[in-house]
Each structure stands twice: as structure tokens, then as C-alpha cells.
Chains A and B, each alone.
Chain A
Amino acid sequence: MKVNSEEPISKPDLYVLARVIKVLKERKSLKRTSLATATGMSYDRLVKYLDWMSDKGFVNFNSDDEVLLTKLGNETYDRLVNWILHYVGKVRFPKFSD
């Protein structure tokens, strides 16, 4: 099922995207209201993100209208982790003593 919203998001906040995926990874399937509570987002904002994520194929909806994470969504999260690690991992932090 596709969610309609007035102003679709063009470029998502990666932090929000990661949170939504993380919650779905842990909880498997959730109603939109529960997902909004779990991610600490407003319902309207979440709906816009779900719309965008659904377009990209990261989530889909089951017959009970619950949100499910797709394989692609799962892989995207892993890619995101690797992407951050690619940059953070290259930084060599000195050890400071007190």
C-alpha cells in the first residue's frame, strides 16, 4: 500500500532513515503509530518518510497495514553503516592521558 502525503521528501535525513530502519530491523513489523512512537517522530513526518522509503523499495506493507522492512531496506542499512565506517574508520585518534 502506498501512503499519500502532500509534500514528499526529496532528500531524506539519513539519521531519521537509519532510525526507522533500525526499529524495523529489531521489531520486524509495526503499525505506523507504533513506529512513530518508537522512532520519536511525528506521525505526519513518519508517513512522508514511509512514502519515500516505499518508493525506493525499502519498506512495504502487509495485509494488516503494518510496515515491514524489505531485504533492500536491510541491505541499505548495512551500506549506511559501511559508508560511515569508511570515513570514521580512516581517522586515527591519538590516545590522550589525563
Chain B
Amino acid sequence: MNEDNLSSKMSEFMTALDQVKKYREIVASLTDFTIMILGTIVAAISFNNFMRLHSLFITADHGQNIFAYFLFFAIFPAGIIAAVWRVRQRVKSVKPSEWKTTLNEGAAGALKLIQELEWDNIFSSIRYAKLGFFIYGIAKILVYWGIATGALYVLNWGVQWLFHMNMDLFLVVALALVVVVFLNRNDLRKRYEQIGRLDWLLWELRWFESEFRGADFEA
């Protein structure tokens, strides 16, 4: 029975470490995320400049203009979706539960897993995971804020065209932020809680590492 308890406790242990690996991967994929978002902005600016240059030589009809506008605004969501997809793919690439076969060996497997743990690496991963979680959350809010600002700007433009009522640009930007924060409130709360849990895990593992290192089994 004790061996079952040990297996179950070790499963919890290793599952928590798997989760840390996933969060660590979020940090690693932030470079990809940033490059893709910057690439999207560069692509949109280049497209806009190309269309301006194009209009100097060729006069486009109304339909072509609408299509060009559609393409310009489609670049942003496409780039953002691709960047978020890339982060998700990298997180999914972390294979969980690879330790299960070892743990099937019972106490021996548990010992092997503990002996093979690279503690410095684990502690640094938890710290990076915390940072990554925070930065990724901020980056997501900034991106959604950008989208919401664009959408509200277009809406404002429509309202102005239809009803001749205009909203100040500062108000548009501020309203977009309020909408984004409101819509993402659950995600923000979850992110805050996860960072707290990572802190908790860090302290628990520090205790375990120092206790277990100093322990000696008398056979």
C-alpha cells in the first residue's frame, strides 16, 4: 500500500514538473512570438506603402480599393493567429508523462527519478516559467489591445460617416483597453493564480531538495 502511495505522490511530483516544462517552453517561444508579430507589422506597413505607390500610377476602382483594405486588415489577425498557434505548438511539443515507465518500477523507479532530477535546472525553469507567464500575458493583452483599437477605429469611422459624430482617438484607445481587460479578466486572474502556484512549487521543491540531499538511508 505504501508503494502505491509513493507512486501516486511521485506522479503528482512529476506532473507538476511537466507543467513547469510547458511553461518554460512559453518563455522559449516568446522570441518566435515577437518576431512573428513584428513581421506582421512590417508586412502591413510594406503592403500599405506598396498600395500608396501603386495608386500613383494606376487608378483602382472602388471594388479593388475595398479588396486592398480587406487585405491590409487581414494581415493583422493572420499574423496574430499564426504567432499564438506557434506558441501553442511549442507548448504541445513538450511530451508529458515520459517518466511513467520508470515509475512502474515502484520504489526503485521513484528513486531513479529523484536521483536524475537536475535541481538547478528545475529551479531556474520555475523562475523562467513565472517570468514567461507574466510576459506572455502582457503580450497577449497588448496584441488584443491593438486589434480592439483597430476595430473601434473602423467603427468610429463608420459612425462618423453615417451620423457625423466623432470620438476622440485617445478615447478610442482607452475604450479598447477597457474592453480588452474586461474580456480577459478570467485569463488575467488565472495567470495571477498560476504565478502564485509556481512560487509555491518553488518553495516546496527547495525544501525537498535540501532535506533529501542531507538525508541518508541506513540499509
Q: Which chain B residue shows the least CB distance to A20?
A: B108
Question: Using a Cβ–Cβ cut-off of 8 Å, how many residues does chain A contribute to the interface with B?
Answer: 31
A78-93 residues with Cβ-Cβ distance < 8 A to B are 78-85, 87-93
Are A85 and B219 closer than 8 Å at their CB atoms?
A: no
- Which DSSP category, helix, strand, loop or mixed, fits chain A's interface? helix
When the two chains form the complex, which single residue of A12, A90, A96, A97 contacts B219, counting CB atoms closer than 8 Å? A12
CB pair A96–B197 under 8 Å, yes or no, is yes
- Docked Cα-Cα span, A12 to B205, in Å, equals 26
Chain B residue nearest in CB terms to A73: B219
Q: Are the C-beta atoms of B13 and A89 separated by less than 8 Å?
A: no
Residues of A within 8 A of B111 (CB): 14-15, 18, 80, 84
Evaluate contact between B107 and A80: CB separation under 8 angstroms: yes
Report which of B3, B22, B112, B217 forms a contact with A83, defined as CB distance below 8 A. B217
Q: Using Cβ atoms and an 8 Å threshold, which residues of chain A touch B190? A: 97
Q: In the complex the two chains form, is B208's CB within 8 Å of A88's CB?
A: yes
Is A69 an interface position by the 8 A CB rule?
no
Shortest CB-to-CB span from A20 to chain B, Å, is: 9
Question: Is the pair B13, A84 in contact by a Cβ cutoff of 8 Å?
Answer: no
Beta-carbon contacts of B75-110 to A below 8 Å, as 1s and 0s? Answer: 000000000000000000000000000000111101
Residues of B within 8 A of A79 (CB): 217
Q: Say whether B152 faces chain A, with CB atoms less than 8 Å apart.
A: no
The smallest beta-carbon distance between B219 and chain A, in angstroms, is: 6
Establish whether residues B16 and A15, one from each chain, have CB atoms under 8 Å apart when the complex forms. Answer: no
Cross-chain contact A96 with B105 (CB below 8 angstroms): no
B1-32 near A? 1/0 per residue, CB < 8 Å = 01101100110110110010010000000000
The answer to whether A96 and B16 touch across the interface, beta carbons within 8 angstroms, is yes
Cβ-defined contact, A22 with B105, below 8 A: yes
In the complex, 22 of the A-B residue pairs with CB atoms within 8 angstroms, ordered by the A residue number, are A15-B111, A15-B112, A18-B111, A19-B105, A22-B108, A77-B107, A80-B107, A82-B2, A83-B215, A83-B217, A84-B110, A84-B111, A84-B114, A85-B2, A87-B215, A88-B9, A89-B9, A91-B204, A91-B207, A93-B16, A95-B197, A96-B19
Binding site for B on A (CB under 8 A): 12, 14-15, 17-19, 22, 56, 58, 76-85, 87-98
Question: Besides the contacts A15-B108, A91-B207, A93-B12, what 11 more A-B pairs have beta carbons closer than 8 Å?
Answer: A14-B219, A81-B106, A83-B215, A85-B5, A87-B211, A88-B6, A91-B205, A93-B15, A94-B200, A96-B16, A96-B19
Name B residues whose Cβ lies closer than 8 Å to a Cβ of A: 2-3, 5-6, 9-10, 12-13, 15-16, 19, 22, 105-108, 110-112, 114-115, 190, 194, 197-198, 200-201, 204-205, 207-208, 211-212, 215, 217, 219
